[in-house]
Structures are given as structure tokens and as C-alpha cells.
Amino acid sequence: MDIIPYLKTQHLCTAEVVEQISKFVHRKTFAKKELILPVENSSKNIFFIEQGLARVFYAKNNKDVTLYFLQENKIGLPIDSIFYNQVCKFGIEALTETSVAIIAYEHWANLSKDNPALQQFSQQLMVDYIKNATDRIYNLKFRSPRERYDTMLSEFRALFLHIPLGHIASYLGITQETLSRLRAEK
């Protein structure tokens, strides 16, 4: 969904604020496997997935680890760069043709200063991000590969066909061989 109608569904903005936000949004479509955001970047942009599927990943020493997936109406942002002025360690890759609305965090923050609803929305995004991160840590530390696989199936069932098995295994913290066994058991 386009970011402006999405924000309207969240009852966040007056028509004036929506107009201001739309002035700062630019859109780009990324081809499958194209980097939306490279690893080790200094971006200060917010990336809103309007259509398609992407993954957030780390890459080091020729090893690639999928952290999580971004579906339609989800936002990715390089927290290290935006809030700590440090190089962000992760990148974002399109897994399908993906349309992204991009807005500089600086513009978003300035618009939020005078809009309590937008501030509340931003705060909720951060809380959701923290919740997802803690759930992810819990799953990796305390749940079996079968439980992690079943959880992923329930969260991303409609997208499973678009996610390469290597990325699924990486996300689950298992080998592709273990993933194959889990899939065969179903």
C-alpha cells in the first residue's frame, strides 16, 4: 500500500501533515536481488515497503545472515546511522520486485515535532521493533528448530514461495539440510 493512504488508515495526520509528508517522499522500485540499502551504510533514510518483499541482513567474511523480513506496510531504518551516527551493519535486499517509499529521517522528525499523532506512531514503530527483536532473540535461544520453523510459517506463509531456502535457514538459525528435514516432516 502507498505510504500516504497507509498513514491515513492509522489516523495519524491531518490533511496538511499528509501533504507535507508527501512532499518529502520519493519512491523507487528495486528489482529482485537488488540492494535497497547496502551493508555498512551511513543512510539516514526511512524505507517503507509499499509493495513486495525484502530482507534485512548482515554480511561479513562472505557469510550472509538474514535478520528479518520486511513485508508490505513495514518500515526498515538504519538505527545505528540515524540515532548514533555510526555505520549501520545491516543491509536491505529486495527478494521480489519491491516498491519503496523513502523519506529522510530528518524530515520525518521535523514533521513529528508538531504532530503528537505522528510522534505516537513513531514511538509505536520503535516499540514494535524492540518487541520483534526480543521475540527473535527468544526464539533463537529457547525454541527448537521445529518451533522456529512453525512460527515462521505462521508469520510468512503467503510469502514462503518468494523466500529462497538459504535465507529461510539463515533466518531460523539452522542449516539448509535441517530445513529440508523439517519441510519433509510436514
Tens digits of residue pLDDT in 34-53? 999 999 999 999 999 999 99
Please report the DSSP string for 118-175 in residue order.
HHHHHHHHHHHHHHHHHHHHHHHHHS-HHHHHHHHHHHHGGGGGGS-HHHHHHHHTS-
Partners of 134 in beta bridges? none
Tens digits of residue pLDDT in 144-170? 999 999 998 888 777 778 889 999 999
What cell was used for 18?
499528509
Q: Which fold has domain 3-113?
A: Jelly Rolls (2.60.120)
Q: Which runs of E-coded beta strand occur in 23-127?
A: 26-30, 35-37, 45-51, 54-60, 63-70, 75-76, 90-94, 98-104
Tens digits of residue pLDDT in 51-108? 999 999 998 888 899 998 999 989 999 999 999 999 999 999 999 999 999 999 999 9
- The rounded distance, in Å, linking the Cα atoms of 129 and 37 is 18
